[in-house]
Structure 1
């Protein structure tokens, strides 16, 4: 993989700061319904991984999107797909397992 092709990453802590400092931050949670029911990042949008290709019209290409899942693997896959489609994406490394801030249920 070429260096320029690598997806940018942020830690859960960096995402928490970004969410606090920028009300317009776009966070996409690609976990399944039962996982999200346990709590997700306040303000995040839930689009299960399998639905991402069908819901591209919900995502603004002019915005940066932070992808989230349980551990960072599925969000990485979703992010790679979106990047190929021309979206500006960042993967939250470590996923919700690393999330220390509050969640909404």
Structure 2
């Protein structure tokens, strides 16, 4: 079972400058419109093609729109990649934006 991090946990890891791969698997336009700080854009198709050959960080966090496709992508990395710990961000980018908005209220 893929571990899930809350958006708050991911934000804290970014702020602490933890070393991990942060992977955004959303579409090109959505990534261009906004993404998490330091996130790398890798589409699902690109991920399937490169997962085995890529040199992954020990920790990887994947996110998508609502946190469902990212669970599948995290499983793919867990199965075929060389990362030690792979997680999906619960609720995806939508939850990140909601958490960010409520923090600014």
- Name the TM-score class by shorter chain: 0.7 to 0.9
Pairing 1:95–2:88 present: no
Q: TM-score, normalised by structure 1?
A: 0.81
Q: Which runs of 5+ in 2 are unaligned?
A: none
Q: Which runs of 5+ in 1 are unaligned?
A: 1-5
1:8 matched to which residue of 2? 3
CA RMSD in angstroms comes to: 1.8
Query: Out of 16, 19, 23, which is 1:21 matched to?
Result: 16
Distance in 1 (CA, whole Å) between partners of 2:55 and 2:27 is 19
Structure 1 segments of 4+ aligned residues over 4 angstroms from their partners: none
Indicate the larger mover: 62-71 or 89-98.
Answer: 62-71
Q: Deviations over 1:31-87 (max 9, x none)?
A: 110111220001011101121021223342x51100011100111110111111143
Distance in 1 (CA, whole Å) between partners of 2:55 and 2:89 is 17
1:58 matched to which residue of 2? 54
Q: TM-score, normalised by structure 2?
A: 0.81
Distance in 2 (CA, whole Å) between partners of 1:73 and 1:7 is 11
Given that 1:71 and 1:97 are in contact with CA atoms closer than 8 Å, whether structure 2 keeps it comes out as: yes
Counting matched residue pairs gives 96
